[in-house]
Structure formats: C-alpha cells, structure tokens
Amino acid sequence: MLEIFPIRAFSDNYIWTLVEGEQAIVVDPGDPKPVLETFNKLKLDLKSIIITHHHFDHSGGIQELKDHFNCDVYGPGGGHIQGISSPLSDNEEFELLGKKFIALSTPGHTLDQLAYYSEEACSEPILFCGDTLFSAGCGRIFEGTPLQMHESISRFSILPENTKVYCGHEYTQSNLAFAITVEPGNQFIKDKIEAVDKLRALDKETLPSDIGSELKINPFMRCEEKTVIDAAANYSGSELKEAHEVLGAIRDWKDNF
Ligand SMILES: [Fe+2]
C-alpha cells in the first residue's frame, strides 16, 4: 500500500506524493524546490511524475526534477507539455510503483486534462483530479465547455463513494461559501463548513475528500438536484433544461461570486 502526503507549493497548490519504501511519485510538481527539499530530507528517490494538465503551476517543475532524478514523466499526449516521456490518452492503463492506474480524460478546465484513478494503490480507491474537481467546487472553464465539464465530473460521480479525492488546490473553504449560497438548506454543507473551518484555523489540509461526501455538498456534482436547478435558474433568469446548462449557470455565478 502506498502512503500519500502533500507537498505544498505556491500559495495553495498541493503536490501529492505517493511513497513506497524509498521510492516515490509526485503529481503535478509546479515548483521543483519544495519537492527537492522534501525528497532530500526524507531520502526519497523520485521514480515517476504524473501531470494532469499543462498549466505552469502543475507542470513547471518537470525539467528540473527530471534532470535531478532521471524519472519517467506521464501526462497528456499531444507534445505541448515539454518533458512528458510517457504520453497517455483516455482510458489508458499504466503502472506506478507496481500498482495499476488508469488515465481518464476530463476536459473542461483545460482540454488536455487527465485524471488518474487507482483501485489497488491504497486500501481505498484513489483519484487525482487536478483542477477538474475541487472539494465543494470545480475548476474554472478556461478551454472547454460546460457540457464537457459536466461529462467529466459525471465520470467521477460513478466512482465508488469511498474513493479518496486528491485535488490540485486548497480551495475548499471558499468553495463552501459559494455552495451554501446555492443551497442554503443543505445540512451536509453546513457540517462541512464547521469541520473545514476548524482544519483551516490550524493550517491543516482539508483534502483528500471522497466521492460520497462530494455528492452531498458539491453543487457542480448536484446539477440534477431540484434545489441546485432552481437556484441556477433564479441566478440566470432563464429555464434550464439540461444538467450541463445548470452547471454552466452556477460556474458563471461562482466566477462572479
Ligand atoms: Fe489549472
């Protein structure tokens, strides 16, 4: 079983680190410095890097870490991210530290976005979802469409409820402030706010989350719930028939929140 912990980078990025013995993997090393410091201190060897998307705060550390550790780099194909040695596409399976992972294409935030899922790496299934899904929120739609984002998030909704969700940023507290505005009567969101406020007051991570909890608190996973549909229609001033239209409306609302 792999051990997982975050290395913090920039103001709110998490570089998730998977360790077995002295061997390790990092997810989205935007900044090489904290990775090198941590690996030096813990005497770890970096075997592989996995990349979810091209944004610099997720991929900026590839070259320096590759030069230092001579590691493999898995990530979106297409040749637009320098340093990727093992390009992956949708539903492609691969092994990290002897454990099977699968890449899931999840466009919306960017078009190249891949998420990584494994049922066997830890005692419970794990998901690295980059900037597609956050706890109580989702990524901004920079390159894709609300339909693509809805389809991507729907791929996560059908994963086992105990799947641990490792997101790329610590955005939970601000996402919850928006989630409770969309669904003021949602007791699960109220309870989560209380728990998250306590963690953040101690400067602790609010992640990983899990799919079961996100299905109860995340408005972007709840676009077929009447409360969310009504709130989105009220915000947009129009009738919203499709779930992706609901998602588009609440994403716009959040962008202006
Ligand atoms: Fe991003």
Q: Is 173 exposed, middle or buried (0-12, 13-18, 19+ CB in 10 A)?
A: middle
- Out of 28, 31, 54, 58, which one is annotated catalytic? 58
pLDDT tens digits for range 175-197:
999 999 999 999 999 999 999 99
Q: How far apart are CA 205 and CA 202, in angstroms?
A: 9
- What pLDDT is attached to residue 100? 98
Report every protein residue that has its C-beta within 5 angstroms of ion ligand 1: 55, 131
Is pLDDT at 143 greater than 90 in this prediction?
yes
Kindly report the number of other CB atoms within 10 A of residue 105's CB atom: 19
pLDDT at 8: 98
The pLDDT, as a whole number, for residue 65 is: 98
Is 53 an active-site residue? yes
* Mean predicted lDDT score pLDDT of the chain: 98
- Residue 56 Cα to ligand 1 midpoint, Å, equals 8
pLDDT tens digits along 66-113: 999 999 999 999 999 999 999 999 999 999 999 999 999 999 999 999
CA of 11 to the centre of ligand 1 (A): 14
CA 198 to centroid of ligand 1, rounded, Å: 27
Q: Does the annotation mark 80 as catalytic?
A: no
User: pLDDT per residue over 241-257, tens digit each?
Assistant: 999 999 999 999 999 99
How far, in Å, from the CA of 53 to the mean position of ligand 1? 7
What span, in angstroms and rounded, lies between the C-alpha atoms of 45 and 43?
A: 7
Q: Are 75 and 81 in contact (CB under 8 A)?
A: yes
Domains in the chain, please, with CATH?
3-166 (3.60.15.10), 176-255 (no CATH)
Q: What is the mean pLDDT of residues 117-128?
A: 98
Other Cβ atoms less than 10 A from the Cβ of 198: the count is 11
Is 68 assigned a catalytic role? no
Average confidence (pLDDT) over 56-69 = 98
The full DSSP string for 153-197 is: HHHHHTS-TT-EEE-SB--HHHHHHHHHHH-TT-HHHHHHHHHHH
| Cis peptide bond upstream of 32, omega within 30 | no
**pTM here?**
0.98
244 is catalytic: no
Q: Which two tokens stand for residue 202?
A: 């101690």
Q: Is the dihedral of CA 166, 167, 168, 173 positive or negative?
A: negative
| Residue 1 pLDDT class (50, 70, 90 cuts) | confident
Nearest to 71 by CA among 109, 101, 107, 97: 97
Active-site residue flag, 109: yes
Quote the pLDDT of residue 101.
Answer: 98
